[in-house]
Amino acid sequence: MTTPRIALLASPVDDAQSALTVLAKRYGNHTPQEADVIVSLGGDGFMLQTLHRHGVLGKPVYGMKLGTVGFLMNQYRAEDDLLARIEAAEPAVLHPLEMQAHTESGATVGSLAYNEVSLLRQTRQAAHVCIELNGEVRLDELICDGVMLATPAGSTAYNFSAHGPILPLGANVMALTPIAPFRPRRWRGAVLKSGTEVRFRVHDPHKRPVSATADSHEVRDVTEVLVRESRDRRVTLLFDPEHNLEERILIEQFAV
């Protein structure tokens, strides 16, 4: 069997850079374009950077935790055989969200999100947002600090901290979750089919400015944001069998 070519990418933190040096000596290091597998060394933030920069290549990504957060990562164990771990790893296929944001200046900005797309108020004024699903108004005015649409992989992150539901992988659903809603006071969000097209329209954007963020890409002063799950783009993350992503999501639902 041919030994897979590995591209080692590391965050700037000292531990990740040290691990990069050790692993490169042991396994070699190829460019992401030449590699069969991309190995991301860091935390969840660096993993998201890796997916945004290199997801278009279609290469599987195996992450190892050397940062502060590691839900999308495997544990780093320098003594283990990395090639054997990659060979035994279980895949998790993720489809990102596609965001198309329109701004007050007339610009249109597109971006992808593997975790969530969130709208947030920019000033002390609460945001007033209309929510449309597949072209039909479902909530004429949500008064809130913000609102987000999260993927299953991202449902344990910002979405969960905003009291949104944790979603199992493979369920083909997304979480629509308000952030500090004021009215309707009893609205707690919704679980939507993955094919749903969600449009957010900002009321009075000059007085009540709102930003939109796809993972870490922020767009200021938006007037309208369209979000849908991408069926054309996909990434494959690799996880150790005992800590696969589906099991981690299940564990999160029973954490006390």
Positions marked active-site: 44
Separation between Cα atoms, residue 1 and residue 206, nearest integer Å: 61
Residue 235 token pair: 């990434």
Separation between Cα atoms, residue 167 and residue 145, nearest integer Å: 23
Residue 107 backbone dihedrals phi, psi, to 5 degrees? -80, 155
Tell me the β-bridge partners of 74.
64
Cα–Cα separations (whole angstroms), residue 225 to 111, 124, 130, 176: 11, 21, 10, 14
* Cβ atoms within 10 Å of 135's Cβ, excluding its own: 7
Residue 27 token pair: 């396994």
Separation between Cα atoms, residue 74 and residue 238, nearest integer Å: 9
* The residue to which tokens 């952030």 are assigned: 179
For residues 148 and 120, is the Cβ–Cβ distance under 8 A?
no
